[in-house]
Amino acid sequence: MNSVQISALFCKGCAYCVKFCPKQILEMGTVRSRKGHFNPVVTDPEKCIACGICATMCPEAAIEVTKGE
């Protein structure tokens, strides 16, 4: 399965990934990270097409995207 890993160390909660995901499967979480930011969560991982747009638009290079078999 395709997957998206979001680093709570690097993420600063700008929501650019949420805005640009073509599948609209990212949403800002409601719990602050230890860094004090809200991090996005993947609402429907099954729908991820591993396009990498979220990672492209993440200024902090906080997202890694993996394409499954």
Binding site for ligand SF4 (CB under 6 A): 4, 6, 11-17, 21, 23, 25-26, 39-40, 48-54, 57-58, 60, 62-63, 65
What are the Cα distances from residue 55, in Å, to 21, 26, 58?
A: 10, 12, 5
Q: Which does 40 bind (CB under 5 to 8 A by kind): other proteins, ligand SF4, none?
A: ligand SF4
Question: For residues 46 and 31, what is the distance between their CA atoms, to the nearest angstrom?
Answer: 23
Question: For residues 21 and 16, what is the distance between their CA atoms, to the nearest angstrom?
Answer: 9
Residue ranges in contact with other proteins by CB under 8 A: 9-10, 12-16, 19-20, 35, 37, 50-53, 55-57, 59-69
